[in-house]
Amino acid sequence: MFTINRSKSYLRFYKFLQVIVNPFLRLIYRLEIINGENAYIKPEGSLILCCNHVSSLDPIIMCAYFPRPIYFISKIELFRNKFLRSIISFFNAFPINREGFGKNVIKKAIEVLKAGNVFGIFPEGTRSLSGEIGEIKKGIGLISYLANAPILPMAIFNSKKIPKDVHIKKKYLFLKIKIIYGELVNTQEIINKYPQKEAIERISDIVLNNIKELYNKLI
C-alpha cells in the first residue's frame, strides 16, 4: 500500500536499514561520495532529487546514501509480483506505465511533494544503455513548477555492470562506484521570473546541464 505520511517507527527502521546496507555497499563497490554535505542541504520540506540512470542499482544507492526517505516511480510490471511489490512499496515506490508520464503520475508526485517529502526521479525516463546522459523529459520541470519544489541534482558513475566483451583483466569483481551531489536549484526564482511554459523548459534544461556537469567530474 502506498503511504504518503510515514510513522516515526518507519523512519527509525529505515535509518536502521541504511546503517546496515551502507558499509556493505562501500565495501563491495569501494563507493566514494563527493559533496556529501549537499545531501543534507534541505533536511525537511519538499525536494526533488534528480539523477542519471544506467543501472537497476541506482535507486538502491540513492536510498542508501540520501538521509531522507525517497519516493520513486517504478515500472508497473514490478508490482505484479506480490513479494517484490511489498519490498518496493516499503521503499516508497508507486507504479507507472511504460508510456511515461501521465496525469496520474504527475498528480501522485505533486501529492508526495506537497506533503513535504523527497521525490526521486531519473529525468531521462529510462536507463541509458550507453552510459551517456540523454535528453530530459519535460515532466521534471512540470512537477517542480506545479509543486513549487526545489531540485537537488546528483550523478552516479560506474553502477553499470562490466560488459562481457571487455578483455582487460580487472583487479576487482565490482566496479568502483562514485556518487556526487550538486547544488540546490532554487526553482522558485525561475517560477517567479518566467511564464509557465518557459519556466518548465528552463528548469528542465538547468537540471540536464547540472547532471551532465556532475557526471563529467566523475569520469
According to the model, what pLDDT value does residue 210 have? 95
Report the distance separating Cα 15 and Cα 65, nearest Å: 10
CATH superfamily of 8-218: Glycerol-3-phosphate (1)-acyltransferase (3.40.1130.10)
According to the model, what pLDDT value does residue 166 have? 46
Closest to 121 in 3D by CA, of 99, 148, 152: 152
The half-sphere exposure of 96 on its side-chain side, counting CA atoms within 13 A, is 21
Report the distance separating Cα 137 and Cα 124, nearest Å: 6
Tell me the domain boundaries of the chain.
8-218
According to the model, what pLDDT value does residue 130 have? 59
Q: What is the pLDDT of residues 120-154, one digit of tens each?
A: 999 876 666 656 676 667 789 999 999 999 999 99
User: All 3 cell numbers of residue 168?
Assistant: 582487460
